[in-house]
Amino acid sequence: MKKTFLLTLPLLTVLSACSTLSEKECHTSDWRQLGIQDGRSGLPDRRLDDYAKSCKEYGIRPDTNLYLAGRTVGLKQYCTPSNAFRTGLNGETYQGVCPPDIDMIFHINNTAALSVYKTHQRIKGLDSRLDHLEHELSEKDKSEKDRLRLRKEMRDLDRERDHLKADLRFEEHELENRMEEERYRTTQR
């Protein structure tokens, strides 16, 4: 997979449903469908406890069997090697929800992709700080002492950014190798 693809992979929206449910939602929820959604999102089964707490005040108990059956269906869609890469590149940390036969490989692949994401974020943070310092340096009322301090900080940040970019190249290379291994493993099944 080309680096450019890794760099331009669109960030997908993470399911942002609140774990608390309204009274109406407690009464009308399709517990199986809710389980499917949570499974597809890789949410742990303790989410059901949150729903139970929310609905308890309305005298409603979630249908645990329907929810867990739906979550199992959703996890089958979530727990794929390619999704491990996608979630990591989107900044999502794996929560240990996959079955034992894929758990370790999902964790390893997600961690490799998440490392790339985090390094990108750190570089973006440094770029933002450098922009701020550049703007500060361009202000006319700065003393020479302040200008020297700003230039030193900018040099230090530039060095740090260069190191991070080298780390990123290595991490992307490692990630590409993992992705290639997964593609090969998939074609051998």
Counted domains in the chain = 2
On whether both 84 and 57 belong to a single domain, the answer is: no
Q: For 106-121, write each residue's pLDDT tens digit.
A: 999 999 999 999 999 9
On whether both 142 and 183 belong to a single domain, the answer is: yes
Confidence of residue 175 (pLDDT cuts 50, 70, 90): very high
Q: Against a cut of 0.85, is the pTM above it?
A: no
**Domain span including residue 71:** 11-78
Report the pLDDT averaged over residues 69-90.
96
Contact predicate 76/104, CB 8 Å: no
Return the structure tokens found at 19: 């774990």
On whether both 138 and 87 belong to a single domain, the answer is: yes
Report the chain's mean pLDDT, rounded to a whole number. 89
On whether both 66 and 17 belong to a single domain, the answer is: yes
Report the pLDDT averaged over residues 42-54.
93
Confidence of residue 19 (pLDDT cuts 50, 70, 90): low
pLDDT of residue 20: 80
In a domain, 5, yes or no: no
In a domain, 137, yes or no: yes
On whether both 117 and 91 belong to a single domain, the answer is: yes
pLDDT of residue 24: 92
Contacts of 39 (CB under 8 A, 6+ apart): 70, 71, 72, 73, 74, 75, 76, 77, 78, 97
On whether both 26 and 42 belong to a single domain, the answer is: yes
In a domain, 6, yes or no: no
Phi, psi torsion values for 46, nearest 5 degrees: -65, -10
On whether both 148 and 167 belong to a single domain, the answer is: yes
On whether both 172 and 184 belong to a single domain, the answer is: yes
